[in-house]
Structure 1
Amino acid sequence: MNTALETKSAPEANFDEVKTALDGLTADIAEKTAPVSDLAERLAKLEAKANRPAGEAKADNDNDPAVAETKALDHYFRKFGTSDFQPEEVKALTAGVNADGGYTIPETFIREIIKDITEFSPMRDLARITSVGGSPVILPRRLTKPTASIVAEGAASTGSQSTYGQWSVPIYEIREHTDISNQLLEDSAFDMTAEIRSDLAEAFGEKEGDLFFTGTGVDEPLGLLTDPDFVTEEASAATLDPDDLIDLFYGVKSSYSRRGAWAMNRQVIKEVRKFKNTAGDYLWQDSLADGQPATFLGKPVVEVPALGEVGASNVVAVFGDWSRGFRILDRIAMSVLPDRLTRATNGEVRFHARRRVGGKLVRPEALIGLKMPA
């Protein structure tokens, strides 16, 4: 048999081997260059992104937690919930723990509300504020203290001891709601967060300002002026006399007077500003520094609308150490729950706000009021 016909010639065998080797090398090159192609594509995309107009770039403060909270809250108000929230937006909000699934205002939002309330409620600028965990709050107090005495040699001494009591201060709930139209919520140019903050701050601030001074103690805090333990001195005449204010100043113990401050109605402040000494100098001293109150007899003066004008039986001024005399007890700072159903037929969303707070005159000797005669 002719074997030359049954086997490939040497050149043919060499060609097949070379072809096989070339195919393998081509596949190997394609495999190794694939990541390079992907990298080139990514670099092209980055280059295109870098060439976009500057206005399309994100703001430098996008990663600021306060900015994230504000954007998430605004989204929450406009979209009526969190169903289409991005993960970072859900993280920026603080979920409420009540059974109704409400959302608590973010921490930065709460601080803004408290700051605004200070403007409306001077008592928060004066008194000591304590956060508490429940209601009622028990405040221990000393009723009497030990007394020492001199005894003759060999004589028996007399013993004495302190006695103690307590005040029980209830925590009350303040509620308010505000209605916002859907059109305002949907208007991207409208600062919804600022509007809600302003409305709630005004409502809660005015209510607190009244309660801390004139609250009846019946289903509401007992105010300073209505507390039976609040001490007042009666003015010498129906008109305001500087001598009465001087007597009031020195009627407070020196340990309280050192940190004392005046509280007066705006109309009373107008009269006090006119007082002069025998040399014709004003007793009132305007502040020389921004943000610092004016002084009378060397002590700061705070305007308190809840105090009365000059008139029969009105308390026109209070002086003393407010931080030691009056205590504000905060249980819940502020929470807001949107209600989409109650005002739905009117095209509005109702936002329910609440806070829990209490207050009490805890050291009556620290604060004394000037009361006009009947």
Structure 2
Amino acid sequence: MAVEIKDVQEVAEALGKKFDEFKEKNDKRVDGLEAEKSKLSGQVDTLNEKLGELDELKSALEKELAGLKRPDGTGTKAASEHKTAFMQFVRKGIDTGLGDLQAKALQIGTEADGGYAVPEELDRSIIELLKDTSPMRQVCNQITVGSPDYKRLVSLGGAGSGWVGETAARPATGTPTLGQISAFMGEIYCNPQATQTSLDDMFFDAEGWLNTEAAREFSEKEGNAFLLGDGTNKPKGLLAYPMAVTADDARAFGTLQKLITGTAGAFNGDKLIDLIHALKAGYRANGTFMMGNLTVAYVRKLKDSEGNYLWRPGLEAGVPSTLLGYGITENEDMPDVAADANAIAFGDFKRAYTIVDRIGTRVLRDPYTNKPYVGFYTTKRVGGMLVDSQAVKVLTLSAA
């Protein structure tokens, strides 16, 4: 059944009512007698969990509604012929003429190993599915390239200026320097299986199945790499770059700034405010928090000095829940609240980190290894890199 606006509004209303109930129970827990605290604490945890479920449901409904409005892509005749031939290869293993059609459709060439590049339309569908399921893809910049050797120039500053009188001499000033950065690329693979009978079935959507299976397997692995990857045969993750407590004007390019909470494994609302304002105003305009689900539950209980909750539910369709006025991206790969954990990141992730997809997902059909299943060994080149180390700040839950 199609998702309607009223469905989202109903969930938003339920979210608001549940938040009011949560506040009432949590306030009683905080202010109540010791004998009541144990009972109320359990109720608060249950309501906190329900708030998370409703918040996720509202976001999912909004995402599905947006997906229904997404226009279908169209391609050239050559691309259409290539897609038809590729799906015949998936179903039957017949690859007659597929190599030539692939070249006509401007796909990357294939080696003589039985593997073929996925049609561009399907390739982009996989990337769109990955974006829907990967928190990092939802907030970071994404580009698609045709070569694995992607590099980018960035300004390292150094330009000079000065004040002069109307007729005074204008001596030469400093010249800005440029640096070249490149993406840490890696090859990710999956090997979904289907029976030949299911592939022969005219009602079996081989295209949708292949896209969904590949996206599901890729999303978990690459999402972790975009955040924590060490850069060896995989992307270098955002939190894998060096960190220092020094401010932007004294920190080397490529080093993130971290703020120390002063308490191991804990933080309060003041530290979140410090984190926000450590970021320059230009970055704050598109700022968002990133944290794990358990950390979201933690921040829902935080209040300001006047007793107001810092977390606010989104009570209208299209309006996300916020923390101190900024959106929250839940990413289960973020470290949980613990001593010395880099538990919260805040900033403009699109300016900070770029995900690089090399177009040309390749599929090798294998009907022999795991009979009666047909395996589809699917590979994709993907990378990531830190582009602007001033655009994101990290909160480290450390005593010193």
Tell me the TM-score normalised to structure 1 length.
0.72
Contact in 2 for aligned 1:135/1:170 (Cα 8 Å): no
Root mean square deviation, CA, Å: 3.4
Matched position secondary structure for 2:351: helix
For 1:96 and 1:330, how far apart are their aligned partners in 2? 14
Correspondence 1:97 to 2:109: yes
List per-residue Cα deviations over 1:171-219 (Å, max 9, x = no partner): 3221221222223323444444433332211111111101101111122
How far is 1:71 from its partner?
7.5
User: What amino acid maps onto 1:146 in structure 2?
Assistant: A
254, 257, 264: which is aligned to 1:231?
Answer: 257
Correspondence 1:350 to 2:375: yes
Matched position secondary structure for 1:205: helix
For 1:145 and 1:98, how far apart are their aligned partners in 2? 46
Matched position secondary structure for 2:240: coil
Aligned to 1:336: 363
Contact in 2 for aligned 1:130/1:328 (Cα 8 Å): yes
Correspondence 1:181 to 2:195: yes
Aligned to 2:126: 113
Correspondence 1:135 to 2:148: yes
User: What amino acid maps onto 2:263 in structure 1?
Assistant: A
Deviates more, 1:346-355 or 1:95-104: 95-104
User: What amino acid maps onto 1:370 in structure 2?
Assistant: L
Correspondence 1:213 to 2:227: yes
Correspondence 1:317 to 2:329: no
Matched position secondary structure for 2:337: coil
Matched position secondary structure for 1:171: strand
How far is 1:260 from its partner?
1.0
User: What amino acid maps onto 1:323 in structure 2?
Assistant: K
> Which residues of 2 match residues 1-374 of structure 1 at below 5 A?
75-82=88-95, 97-100=109-112, 102-150=115-163, 159-228=173-242, 229-238=255-264, 239-343=266-370, 346-373=371-398
List per-residue Cα deviations over 1:298-337 (Å, max 9, x = no partner): 2111111111111012111111111111111111252323
Tell me, which stretches of 5 or more residues in structure 2 are unaligned? 1-74, 243-254
For 1:158 and 1:286, how far apart are their aligned partners in 2? 54
Point out the structure with max Rg over C-alpha: 1
How far is 1:117 from its partner?
1.1
- Change beyond 3 A, Cα 1:280–1:144: same
How far is 1:112 from its partner?
3.1
User: What amino acid maps onto 1:252 in structure 2?
Assistant: L
Aligned to 1:29: none
How far is 1:155 from its partner?
8.6
For 1:292 and 1:352, how far apart are their aligned partners in 2? 40
Contact in 1 for aligned 2:107/2:120 (Cα 8 Å): no
Identical pairs, percent: 31
User: What amino acid maps onto 2:380 in structure 1?
Assistant: R
Deviates more, 1:251-260 or 1:348-357: 348-357
Matched position secondary structure for 1:365: coil
Tell me the TM-score normalised to structure 2 length.
0.67
For 1:274 and 1:104, how far apart are their aligned partners in 2? 50
For 2:172 and 2:95, how far apart are their aligned partners in 1? 72
Instruction: Give aligned pairs, total.
Output: 307
Matched position secondary structure for 1:357: strand
Contact in 1 for aligned 2:187/2:233 (Cα 8 Å): no
User: What amino acid maps onto 2:144 in structure 1?
Assistant: S
List per-residue Cα deviations over 1:261-299 (Å, max 9, x = no partner): 111111111111222233433222222343543211221
How far is 1:373 from its partner?
0.7
Matched position secondary structure for 1:225: helix
How far is 1:79 from its partner?
2.0
How far is 1:77 from its partner?
2.8
How far is 1:232 from its partner?
1.2
Question: Which 4+ runs in 1 deviate beyond 6 A?
Answer: 64-72, 93-96, 151-156
Contact in 1 for aligned 2:269/2:310 (Cα 8 Å): no
Contact in 2 for aligned 1:94/1:103 (Cα 8 Å): no
- Change beyond 3 A, Cα 1:111–1:161: closer
Aligned to 1:9: none
For 1:112 and 1:203, how far apart are their aligned partners in 2? 15
For 2:147 and 2:82, how far apart are their aligned partners in 1? 28
- Change beyond 3 A, Cα 1:339–1:280: same
For 2:122 and 2:173, how far apart are their aligned partners in 1? 56
How far is 1:70 from its partner?
8.3
User: What amino acid maps onto 1:227 in structure 2?
Assistant: Y
- Change beyond 3 A, Cα 1:234–1:106: same
Matched position secondary structure for 2:361: strand
